[in-house]
Structure 1
Amino acid sequence: MTTSRRPINPFPLPGWERTPMRPLRPWERKGHRDYYVDVDGAASAFQEFQQEIGDLTGLLEDGRLVLVTGDSGCGKTALVNRCADWTVLELRRRGMRGVVVDLTGCLPEDEELSIHERTVHVCDQLFDQLVDARAMRQDAEEALRGDRDNPQRIFPRLSRALNDDVVLVVLLPSPNELLDEVVRYARQLRSPRVLFFAESAFFDPDDIAEVVRRLESWVPPITLLVGKLDDGDPERFADDRLVRHTEVGIYPQLSDEAVELLSKICQSVAMLQRILHGTYERKLEAGLSYTEADLVTVDDIRAYLNGLGMHP
């Protein structure tokens, strides 16, 4: 018995239909793993990460810090999540348990905190999540509980406190006082069997070179850059999404002129996703001209953007 196909919007991610702008998160949702499209140079950055991490020996012996840079909306978080997921899968093949600890939203948004205060908050929140994940030995958990907000005490002992089969993959909040905060993370948080990720839209090549210079006597960070959309990226992204749901849903394709307009106005993959999802949602809700024989046109995109107060 075949399920009847119905009109759908083909652009939300599986499981996140109500929050279409959330980034891919394959370490939490396995269905996201094959949704990555080679745009913004993200595939090259992912391959660079794989090469730098290699056989995981450096991670297991010294720990690593990964710094992902690029413009706002270019896919930094999606890349971080892909690298985290790949690391967990590689660890599993070696009989180890990768525990992803997401601290990206752990800092209060309404307070100005110093680097020390931010690091203390990160440490305190990390302890809670390690307890929830049962990542630490019971005796170590009890011994460190009184120092849970003391980075100088927690982080040097972290690898010894973990269960023998556990490796941590920690997603840090975006650094605030950029260079100094990243250097603090690399020096103070570094620990065997702990992989830290930080992302920022504010680093340029000179900043990255300065970070590497200041950490030259330490294990240098892995730095990954994600760029703006390149020629052909909007069409490649749209084509990928539009072929995924043909067996379960009904929806129009994009006209050639609509693809050309998207290529002109979209600077980032986040902007591209927002416009495509919003345009299709608006046309779907209107209930007219939404069949496989129809096309989403330049006028449809402009009508959506005009509704947002944007005029391409």
Structure 2
Amino acid sequence: MTEPDGRVNPLRRPENRFHAAPALQCTCGGDCQKCHIAVDNTEPCYEIFQEVMKDLGALQEAGLFAVAHGPSRCGKTSLLNRCATSAARALNAQGVQAREISLAHVGQSPDLTTKQRVVMVGRRLAIEAAKTQDVFDSGRYTAPADSGDEPPTLEEYMRAVGDAVLDGHVLIVRTPRAEQATEVAQYWSGTSRKLLIFAETTAVNLPHIPEQPVGEAHPLRLNLGILKRGDVAEFARSRIHVPGCGRTFPDLDIGALETFYGDPPMVTIGAVQKLLYNIYEHYLHNPWPDGNIIRAEDLWRYVRENPEGQEG
């Protein structure tokens, strides 16, 4: 048995946000295709996005709004990370220069209203865009003016920013995570030329997001959900069967993992990721299970002893 100092967690989370792999560590060492398991609609959504990206040059005339929606921890952020990386590469291949602006952490105070948050997003977008002097022409930017007691709207900020982006350039913008469909609708309504807007929400229905292009913006819905029969095992095998199994970390009874979640599993990919990561982190500092293999009873024991750390 490996001594505690020699143990590793095979599911370390990468810190590189440009890494195309899902939230847990890629083990294939290549283009990560083997790591992107086709759970739920993840792969179909990614393929749809890539198909849309073939005409990304059209962002010069019409912007694109892509929203990933589904339950908590279903893989929305991981999907959008992949899409953003793919978009930047596709744009560069078309001779269009892309710059990313993340507004994901803007307006996170619980005391803010949706209206206040989206206005903050608009203001911050203008500030961050102005820092990209190779993309943004400040001389072409006309700051939206207050209308009486009302501040400028998010739509006004976004259109003003889009107008000031240089030809042959595009801004890839990540909005804050939205809880309400009405907030997502405001990010959609503000999308304009030369802007690729990525949003994510736990809202299931998005009645204000059309199916077809409207004005200067094209909408794209990426709907994610829970895992299907067999997805848990497929995902676990891609993560656990790596060099060092049984020596630097205990093996996993994948059949027991499926039993643990039930049939059908009724769980999100993020919940499975979190459990696998946490239980291997647990065995970095505690005695290994009997037989050096993690079975269903070990999973249940861990969850009972650590109820606060579980989701799904």
Question: Shorter-chain-normalised TM-score: which range?
Answer: 0.7 to 0.9
> Which gives a bigger RCO, structure 1 or 2 (Cα 8 Å, sep 6+)?
1
Number of aligned residues: 290
- Give yes or no for the alignment of 1:184 onto 2:183: no
In the other structure, the counterpart of 2:248 is 250
Q: TM-score, normalised by structure 1?
A: 0.79
Q: Cα distance, 1:65 vs. partner?
A: 0.9
Of stretches 238-247 and 58-67 in structure 1, the one that deviates more from structure 2 is 238-247
Report the Cα distance in structure 2 between the residues aligned to 1:15 and 1:245, rounded to whole angstroms: 21
Instruction: Give identity over the alignment, percent.
Output: 22
In the other structure, the counterpart of 1:309 is 307
Alignment of 1:149-298 (within 5 A): 150=152, 151=154, 153-179=156-182, 181-187=183-189, 189-204=190-205, 207-208=206-207, 210-212=208-210, 219-246=217-244, 250-264=248-262, 267-288=267-288, 294-298=292-296
- Give yes or no for the alignment of 1:88 onto 2:88: yes
For residue 154 of structure 1, what is the amino acid of its counterpart? Answer: Y
Gaps of 5+ in 1: 17-23
Q: Is the 8 A contact 1:266 1:272 kept in 2?
A: no
Q: Is the 8 A contact 1:258 1:297 kept in 2?
A: yes
For residue 95 of structure 1, what is the amino acid of its counterpart? Answer: G
Report the Cα distance in structure 1 between the residues aligned to 2:249 and 2:21, rounded to whole angstroms: 28
Q: Cα distance, 1:85 vs. partner?
A: 0.9
Report the Cα distance in structure 2 between the residues aligned to 1:300 and 1:236, rounded to whole angstroms: 20
Report the Cα distance in structure 1 between the residues aligned to 2:145 and 2:248, rounded to whole angstroms: 56
SS of corresponding position for 2:209: helix
Q: Cα distance, 1:191 vs. partner?
A: 1.7
Report the Cα distance in structure 1 between the residues aligned to 2:77 and 2:304, rounded to whole angstroms: 29
Q: Is the 8 A contact 2:106 2:117 kept in 1?
A: no
Report the Cα distance in structure 2 between the residues aligned to 1:129 and 1:27, rounded to whole angstroms: 24
Alignment of 1:79-118 (within 5 A): 79-115=79-115, 117-118=116-117
SS of corresponding position for 1:174: coil
Q: Is the 8 A contact 2:66 2:197 kept in 1?
A: yes
Report the Cα distance in structure 1 between the residues aligned to 2:155 and 2:288, rounded to whole angstroms: 62
SS of corresponding position for 2:98: strand
Summarize the Cα distance change of 1:25–1:37 in structure 2 as closer, same or farther, 3 Å threshold. Answer: farther
SS of corresponding position for 1:106: coil
SS of corresponding position for 2:49: helix
RMSD of aligned alpha carbons:
3.4
Summarize the Cα distance change of 1:72–1:52 in structure 2 as closer, same or farther, 3 Å threshold. Answer: same
Q: Cα distance, 1:186 vs. partner?
A: 2.4
Gaps of 5+ in 2: none
Q: Is the 8 A contact 2:71 2:204 kept in 1?
A: no
SS of corresponding position for 1:280: helix
Summarize the Cα distance change of 1:157–1:112 in structure 2 as closer, same or farther, 3 Å threshold. Answer: closer
Q: Is the 8 A contact 2:74 2:270 kept in 1?
A: yes
- Give yes or no for the alignment of 1:45 onto 2:45: yes
SS of corresponding position for 2:193: coil
Q: Cα distance, 1:211 vs. partner?
A: 2.8
- Give yes or no for the alignment of 1:26 onto 2:19: yes
Summarize the Cα distance change of 1:68–1:137 in structure 2 as closer, same or farther, 3 Å threshold. Answer: closer
Report the Cα distance in structure 1 between the residues aligned to 2:169 and 2:217, rounded to whole angstroms: 21
Which structure dedicates a bigger proportion of its chain to helix?
Answer: 1
In the other structure, the counterpart of 1:66 is 66
Report the Cα distance in structure 1 between the residues aligned to 2:175 and 2:126, rounded to whole angstroms: 14
Summarize the Cα distance change of 1:125–1:262 in structure 2 as closer, same or farther, 3 Å threshold. Answer: farther
Give CA-to-partner distance per residue, 1:196-248, whole Å, 9 cap, x none: 111111223xx44x53179756644111111211111111111111234549x
In the other structure, the counterpart of 1:19 is none
Give CA-to-partner distance per residue, 1:115-156, whole Å, 9 cap, x none: 2x2221001221232234445445438x55686984455322
Q: Is the 8 A contact 1:159 1:191 kept in 2?
A: yes
Summarize the Cα distance change of 1:160–1:233 in structure 2 as closer, same or farther, 3 Å threshold. Answer: same
Q: Is the 8 A contact 1:73 1:269 kept in 2?
A: yes
Give CA-to-partner distance per residue, 1:8-61, whole Å, 9 cap, x none: 111122348xxxxxxx753799x8662433212200111111223332133232
Report the Cα distance in structure 1 between the residues aligned to 2:193 and 2:204, rounded to whole angstroms: 26
Report the Cα distance in structure 2 between the residues aligned to 1:271 and 1:295, rounded to whole angstroms: 21
Q: Is the 8 A contact 2:175 2:199 kept in 1?
A: yes
Q: Is the 8 A contact 1:99 1:135 kept in 2?
A: no
Q: TM-score, normalised by structure 2?
A: 0.79
